[in-house]
Amino acid sequence: MVLQMDSKHSAKKPTIADVAALAGVSVAAVSQVISGKGRISSWTAQIVKDAINELGYVRNHNASTLRSGKTNLIGIVLHNISDNFCAELLDGVSGELEANGKIPLFIQYGKDGASLENRIDLFLHLNVDGIILITPYDVSDDLYIRLSNTPTAYISRNCHYNKKHHIGPNYFNAVETATEHLIKHGHRNIAFIGGEKDSYSRAERIGGFFSALISYDVIPHNEWIIDCPNNQRIAAEKTSNLLTHNPQITAILAYDEMTANGAIHGIQQAGKSVGKDNYIARQIALLCLENIPDTAITNLTCIDFSLKEIGMRAAQDLIQQLESHPGQPNNTVPKLILRDSA
């Protein structure tokens, strides 16, 4: 069927009544086609869609919001959209939300708490259905209380087991798994490099490291646990110095990709190489404590936290809250990606 629009339709913004008149159906039928609710034949639905396209009708979102009390808008507040941690999370969050008919809105905030509060105020003013907060920092109790009446899911680098609707990477279990892998392959002299001294996530990693060592009766060496800023040159210097003064070390756990790349150069500066053969060639096993792609320098064994899956689970948790079926998201299980370096 070819639908014609008479001249009166071009004089004003088309309404749902105009669509109904052009399609020859009731306003109720048009509303059911637009909302996807009700029992409408495919033939009728197609006529309505043709009329909508012919008229250039745009649904009045504000009016539908007033009727349903829902906007389908989800506010996503994050610290740094260019950060690798956030980028992979957003892939999972946005994909899951869109698959459930939600519209994700993204906004960044700075380090200060006022900036975060302002962003949340903006989303609340926009009447979003829910909020997903992605942050490298701890969320204050005041903010939890403030958002208690708004469906909210939280993602952070630190895994808070006592917080509702919170999901994040479990660094303790990840490093415990990585350390056990090295011990089971004959390593007893294992060093840990990277992270700032006052970092909670570093403390959680070191906790997993010590837990594995103690479980296998391996004596921890505190002097082999080296803090390091996020600087490749400094990581190289500290790695070289550590291996030069402690030649018995056969394996290194690197805090993150930057530290791992610096450690590679430090290992070489100490006259050693990266690899598995610590008995004959005196290679140093190197394992990175975050997921990184294969590099041109070497294939690094690493930990995969499946950040995309964490994002998907946070979005699923929020949708369950919106549907009045709240639960508690389960944290993902970290996996080892075995490559040539360990």
What is the full DSSP assignment across 2-60?
-----GGGGGS---HHHHHHHHTS-HHHHHHHHHT-S---HHHHHHHHHHHHHHT----
Question: Above 80 in pLDDT, residue 132?
Answer: yes
pTM over 0.75: no
Report the C-alpha gap between 308 and 96 in whole angstroms.
Answer: 10
For residue 230, name the pLDDT band (cuts at 50, 70, 90). Answer: confident
* Domains, the chain: 16-59 (no CATH), 71-168+308-332 (3.40.50.2300), 171-304 (3.40.50.2300)
Single-letter amino acid, residue 224? W
Report how far apart the first and last C-alpha atoms of the chain are (Å, whole number). 67
243-263 tens-digit pLDDT: 999 999 999 999 988 999 999
Mean pLDDT for 159-164 is: 61
Higher pLDDT, 206 or 142: 206
For residue 182, name the pLDDT band (cuts at 50, 70, 90). Answer: very high
Separation in Å, CA 155 to CA 160, 186, 203, 336: 10, 36, 19, 22
Three-class DSSP category at 171: helix
Alpha helices in 100-252 (DSSP H): 113-125, 141-146, 171-184, 200-215, 232-245
For residues 44 and 38, the answer to whether their CB atoms sit within 8 Å is: no
Percent of the chain with pLDDT over 90: 34
Three-class DSSP category at 77: strand
Q: If you average pLDDT over every residue of the chain, what do you get?
A: 82
**Candidate from 233-237, 273-277, 321-325 with smallest mean pLDDT:** 273-277
Mean pLDDT for 182-201 is: 90
Question: Above 80 in pLDDT, residue 266?
Answer: yes
Smallest CA-to-CA distance from 102 within 314, 266, 258, 325 is with 314
Counting DSSP H helices and E strands in the chain, the numbers are 12, 11
Segment holding 322, helix H or strand E? helix 307-322
pLDDT of residue 184: 93
Higher pLDDT, 79 or 131: 131
For residue 240, name the pLDDT band (cuts at 50, 70, 90). Answer: very high
Question: Above 80 in pLDDT, residue 212?
Answer: yes
Question: Above 80 in pLDDT, residue 325?
Answer: no
pLDDT of residue 135: 81
For residue 131, name the pLDDT band (cuts at 50, 70, 90). Answer: very high
